[in-house]
Amino acid sequence: MPYFNSYDGTTLFYSVTGRGPALVCLAGGPGADVRDLGSLSGLDGFRTLVMLDGRAAGRSEVPTDRASCAFTEQARDLEELRRQLEIERLDVLAHSAGTLTAQAFAADHPEKLGRLILITPVGLVSREVDEAEVTVIRTRRADEPGSAEALAAGAQPWSYGAWSDATRRHYEAEATYPQPPSWLREAFYVRPVSGAAAATAVARRAAVLSPVLVVAGSEDGVAGVRTPRRVASCYPVGRLEILSGCGHWPWIDEPTAFRDLVTGFLDD
């Protein structure tokens, strides 16, 4: 199992599977085990997936410096991984909270970025979910078939496009992975930026000229659609795709449509 020591000596875990050019993949959470992504509906048949566990997540080390777990700092781990793998320009795929780390890396090192794929992002420069929108989605979906069964199992039915055998297996697998420390969420998101600092952070992302694909789920009761739309609109070569019937994990809900979309973007 590959490990590497990052810029401050923290030991991070990553796995490598598949074939073809490398695609570095980050899970959400924050603090989700990267195994949560699985094979991303078979993307390993087209790309070499470099699956990185973030700080204090999965099989990576829990650093003594909690401030180093902020997404802005974890972007430095991506650059260190790129350097150690000797890849000139990283293609990066990130899910949910992990999209903040990926976007921070893109803003810090635009010349080191190839293509960027942001799956159901929670924000652009901080957690910026439109709570009113996700409340509407959750309320609308409350009486869907399977919702009561999902709630009884402890799951959030609005996280998925539908409660099915595939989504049940995904949810049950998540429970078997190591859980992050209780303080990680606060450390990861740090304080929301506002005013001039926010404008500067947004401008730095708008200066990223690499192609960016943002994937949203039309039924996503976690991140919604408005936030992914805002993220996509920030990037000069940004593209938004809303997958109908999908929730927060679109590769689980619509694996073929998701795989075709991502491979088409990477091969374009």
pLDDT for residue 1: 63
CATH of the domain at 239: 3.40.50.1820
The span from the CA of 136 to the CA of 129, in Å, is: 13
Q: Which regions of the chain are under pLDDT 50?
A: none
Q: Into how many domains does the chain fold?
A: 1
Q: Which domain holds residue 102?
A: 3-267
pLDDT tens digits along 157-204: 889 999 999 999 999 999 899 999 999 999 999 876 778 888 999 999
| Three-class SS state of 262 | helix
Residue 254 sits at φ, ψ, to 5 deg, of -135, 75
| Three-class SS state of 130 | coil
The span from the CA of 255 to the CA of 262, in Å, is: 11
pTM of full prediction above 0.85? yes
